Chain A
């Protein structure tokens, strides 16, 4: 599972930073059929959370209308140096995680 996070390594106190995330996932809708006409079962990521030093700062609920390899850009205010955790949960409850460090000066 490839996860890519783009985040500035350093920010000023109070600065609003943009975070870009991408996770490799088919986001199979459950609406498609294979070449024999059989329904392809739904397989999607349902939740996304971003935690900043343990506190949730942004969350998303994903539906099949989100593309394969979900891409998500959002903002957060740089408050203190620390770690951001990016967490995706699929429909079976499996968790995929990545972290990034932010230095606030």
Chain B
């Protein structure tokens, strides 16, 4: 709500604010028209997964990717990855790789761990260029691959806004 002057007119201060907001919005339109690097298609993420893990089958499950349903700022999105594993010498996660289907690069981050980790539970913050699915693939010590994904809506995309 804009504060009003006694005469009922909108106070000059808020008028300036409104102008700045409008200018910002106009700038936003210009920014979105800026040539941006081509965003990766989901096929690129699939190719990146195959490049890292080969053609071995991916089984759905054991992996949980946590992202906010709505990411207001694509520059910093909290992500948690948990893999269901006892993390013992004989049964543990050896690698986790995270892929973004709609980022300029499908690779996001990779983790290498083992029984010394005790628990396959990792948190970090990532940049997202668009609303998209984030997929995590976990490789167990027996070579089996497990996967899951989370979807998040990104309001303000990273990479797009300059400066």
Contacts and interface: CB of A to CB of B under 8 A. Distances in A.
Contacts, number: 102
Contact of B116 (A52, A62, A72): A52
Contacts of B114: 57
Interface of B: 34, 36-37, 75-76, 100, 103-105, 107-128, 159, 162-163
Contact of A66 (B37, B115, B127): B127
Interface stretch (A2-10, A31-39, A89-97): A31-39
Counting from the closest, the 3 A-B pairs by CB-CB distance are A77-B118, A16-B118, A73-B123
The secondary-structure label for the interface of chain A is strand
Contacts of B116: 52, 55, 57-58, 76-77, 79
A71 B104 CA distance: 21
Given A35-B162, A65-B126, A72-B124, A58 B108 contact: no
Contacts of A34: 162-163
B76 A67 contact: yes
B159 A32 contact: yes
Contacts of A105: none
Contacts of B122: 72-74
A100 B10 CA distance: 57
A6 B157 CA distance: 30
Interface in A49-65: 52, 55, 57-65
